[in-house]
Chain A
Amino acid sequence: MTFLLLITLGLLFVYALYFAAQTARIGSNPRDFLDGAMMLPSWSVMFILPAIGVTALGIERHLLLVSYYGLQASHIAVGMITLAVAAVMFWNRLWVATRLAGLHTPGEAIGRYYDSIALRVIMMGMCVLFALPYSANLLSQAALLLQQATNGTISREMAVWVFALSMAVPAIIGGWRAVVMVLAMEALLMAILIPGIMLFGEIVLSGDIFPNRPMPVDEGIFWDRIPGVLQGYAGVGKNVPTGGIFTAVAISSTAISLAGIVLSPATLYLGQTARNGPAFGISAVWLTGGLAAGILLLVVPVLAARMPAGLVTYAEALAAIVPLAGVSVILLGVMGAIFAISFFVTGGTLLVFRELVHTYLFPNLTERGQRLGARISLGFGFFLLGLMAAFMPFVSAVFASVALPLALQLLPAMVGFAFMRWISRGAVLAGIALGSLLVVFTEPLGLIIFEGLFIDLPWGRWPLTIHSAGWGLAINLLIVFLSSVAKLSGPEMYQRSRFHRAMKVHPPATTARSGLLWGLAILWGFLAYGPGAILGNFFFSDPIFTDLKSIIGVPSLWVWQMLFWLFGVVLVWWLSYSVGYGHTHEVNGKPIRLGMPHATRSPDWISSGLRRIVNRSGDASPDNPDRVSERLLLPDLEVKQPAVKPKLGRTRHS
């Protein structure tokens, strides 16, 4: 199997290299390297969103959780609907805002809307968090999987560097467009492999298919039902919850945390750089809400029932019958990780380059210079990734645990940006600060540091079976809504109102429809993964309206999941097509000016520091140092250039 596996991974690398080289050969504007000319093909975005959702759960991790906890863990997959809703709404608003106000990155969008450098820094922090510890953790796990699959022929460290290099080279050559196109193919391959492997395994392996074969969980774990709405449980590491950790509240908070992946800067950037058209709707409704959620709810339990000992054992069992089938299982595990790594490291590095390096350190880079700078940054980013994954797997794992919940803390900021103009900057910042604090102290990061330095805390990870994202978001929203009430006027409000009025034209949504939609969405959420989901435990096996027992042959909870998955698809369909968020149209009309001063330049201390180190000719002239280091952040359209008639010397403002 080792040889075949290496050949398959090699072919994957050749495919990426081919597309990187082809992208480089197109000969488009060098600046397109960073954003694909803001015209990424619609189909690539369509395929990538569901795969991002699946990798947010983690293929190997989700399979292990389902094989350990059964259908209660599988229930989290209903959260793909929430993810689809978040994606279609925020992508659409950000896409429109980008074209309306000449924004280039998610950080710039949020920063300029709230007129806050702090929010830009927070966005950059998110980029780094996803690009380094989060991705390094995934890379370390993928390398470990390869080590196990090859029986140690390829060590974990070696696999880390080979993977890092094989992802870095295509990204450095082809940039954002090439990476996105390769990832789209990988997404499609994953969508085929998951059900394909399940079907193949059921045909060639002996034994019954799930649910005839019950989930091989430990004693005391309810594999076919949700263990209550909430449990008085101190958290992981403190005590053991009864019947399993995935209570209804745990499921809902975990499902909501999946929306954090949509709010990660790289995912927002993907939506921002897409071409106009129906891509968001198709992606959210049919591929994420429909296909990906369906595969996770229907296929993964069947697959997980066969692999209590993990992917490698299952791969070996299949490889004994058909070696290439075993390779496919390992490929699925590895590809799930390298998909996310490639996406977050490339996206994150490009964003950090644009937000930090190009804006503040080297504001006067030419287009070719920007491309070169981005290539160097990508090399540096992948090198740091390899370093973390190879030598700091534990630190990476600890920091990776807070990536999704921390990204979710940007939700109020994005809601304010996209829909609610009365959410103020102070409220958003206060909410993020306190929400993040709560996230950190309900995850290993805060617990390990605090308990190591001071005393043992009375709670562990996810106290009361509530995901850290849920704790953080609850306090965050509370603070945002309470403090936003106090500040509703001023020039900021006028500017925001103009911005929101302009955005409201795309798409034209009626209030009546929206009210009904949100009412149904809340009802759906309550029953699908909220406290109402507990009804699904026995609803179809022991109906409450009769004494008779129903024999349906499958667990009642599984039927409940399928039912609310289908209702969820209808919900996303309504939002995308009926309300209109699923389609983006060409944005015409007068550009909007958003916050921030007209121009910014490198801070003096950075400029003088750089001048001491590098003698950059042409960057700063001694007679007027401010003039040349100035980089206009607003689009050219907003800057009114005086039209001077030749030889007349009169100035007229156009």
Chain B
Amino acid sequence: MGQRLAEDDPSSRIDRFNRHGLVMAIWAPAVFVAVVLFHAGYVHTTNWWFVAAFGSLITAFCAHIIVNVVLKTGFTTRETALGSTILVVLTLGYLITILTAPDMLVDRLMMPIGIGLGMLVVVVVVSMLISFGPRRAFEKFDVVRDNNLRAASRLPHRGGRR
């Protein structure tokens, strides 16, 4: 009920929209710059361009965290879902490319992009560890416990910590 009221409140809606605008204003230029740098890396066969491209994405991620801290918010469900989906799609695309692309292309792209994707995951994990601590960071992925919808599961002696 309380959540519904917050959603109906125009000032709260405007605040959420303002935050969304700021997050998009950070990510949109960063993604554009990353695309240009990926393009440069692909055309120019220099790994430093890939490093810079992933650096641009990581910078945007850090800026997003700063926004969360300043505005006292966290990643929204939609942001988490979108980010996870994009990361999974990129990883799948990367794996498919390695399996199907010509050897020359694989030789050029495997190392820099693989390390870059790995770095993105590491950055996300490190940020979670810093923000939530090891236990709460792990609990974010503890789907089995969170799936137990019985009210009794919330009781401390039943192990509920939700």
Contact = CB atoms under 8 A, between A and B. Distances in A.
Contacts of A448: none
Contacts of A39: 14
A324 B35 CA distance: 8
A323 B14 CA distance: 39
A26 B21 CA distance: 13
Interface string A625-640: 0000000000000000
Contacts of B14: 26, 28, 37, 39
Contact of B40 (A19, A41, A44, A322): A322
26 contacts: A15-B28, A19-B21, A19-B24, A22-B17, A26-B10, A26-B14, A28-B10, A28-B13, A28-B14, A41-B18, A41-B21, A44-B21, A47-B25, A181-B21, A185-B25, A188-B29, A189-B32, A204-B40, A322-B39, A322-B40, A322-B43, A324-B36, A324-B40, A325-B40, A327-B36, A328-B36
Given A23-B17, A26-B10, A26-B17, A185 B29 contact: yes
Contacts of A188: 25-26, 29
B87 to A, nearest CB: 21
B44 interface: yes
A484 B26 CA distance: 49
A517 B72 CA distance: 36
Given A41-B22, A44-B21, A323 B13 contact: no
B33 interface: yes
Nearest to A197: B36
Nearest to A42: B18
Nearest to A40: B18
B21 A204 contact: no
A204 B52 CA distance: 15
A325 B10 CA distance: 42
Interface of A: 8, 15, 19, 22-23, 26-29, 37, 39, 41, 43-44, 47, 181, 184-185, 188-189, 192, 196, 200, 204, 321-325, 327-328
Contacts of A47: 25
A324 B10 CA distance: 41
Q: Enumerate the 7 nearest inter-chain pairs by beta-carbon distance, A residue then B residue, closest first.
A: A185-B25, A41-B18, A189-B29, A181-B21, A324-B39, A322-B40, A324-B36
Residue of B14, B26, B39, B44 contacting most chain A CB atoms (<10 Å): B14
Residue of A29, A47, A189 contacting most chain B CB atoms (<10 Å): A189
Interface in B1-51: 10, 13-14, 17-18, 20-22, 24-26, 28-29, 32-33, 35-36, 39-40, 43-44
Nearest to B48: A203
Residue of A8, A15, A41 contacting most chain B CB atoms (<10 Å): A41
A323 B29 CA distance: 18
A109 to B, nearest CB: 25
Nearest to A331: B32
A322 B44 contact: yes
Nearest to B13: A26
Contacts of B40: 200, 204, 322, 324-325
Dominant secondary structure of chain B at its interface with chain A: helix
Contacts of A325: 36, 39-40
B119 to A, nearest CB: 21
Contacts of A185: 21, 24-25, 28-29
Contacts of A192: 29, 33
A594 B35 CA distance: 54
Interface in B99-131: none
A204 B44 contact: yes
Contacts of B44: 204, 321-322
A55 B14 CA distance: 29
Contact of A184 (B13, B20, B25, B36): B25
Contact of A27 (B10, B21, B36): B10
Contacts of B10: 26-29
A22 B17 CA distance: 8
Contacts of B21: 19, 41, 44, 181, 184-185
B35 to A, nearest CB: 7
Contacts of B39: 322-325
Nearest to B38: A324
Contacts of A44: 21-22, 25
Contacts of A323: 39, 43
Given A22-B20, A27-B13, A185-B29, 14 more contacts: A29-B10, A37-B14, A41-B22, A43-B18, A43-B25, A44-B22, A184-B21, A185-B21, A188-B25, A196-B36, A204-B40, A324-B36, A324-B39, A325-B36
A360 to B, nearest CB: 31
Contacts of A41: 18, 21-22
Interface string B58-99: 000000000000000000000000000000000000000000
Contacts of A27: 10, 13
B19 to A, nearest CB: 8
B13 A322 contact: no
Contact of B43 (A23, A184, A321): A321
Contacts of B26: 188
A393 B39 CA distance: 37
A196 B55 CA distance: 13
A323 B38 CA distance: 12
A196 B25 contact: no
A184 B24 CA distance: 10
A29 B14 CA distance: 11
B22 A43 contact: yes
Nearest to B17: A26
A296 B155 CA distance: 62
Contacts of B28: 15, 185, 189
Contacts of A22: 17, 20
Nearest to A43: B22
A445 B56 CA distance: 47
A8 B36 CA distance: 11
Contacts of A328: 36
A23 B14 CA distance: 9
A529 B91 CA distance: 54
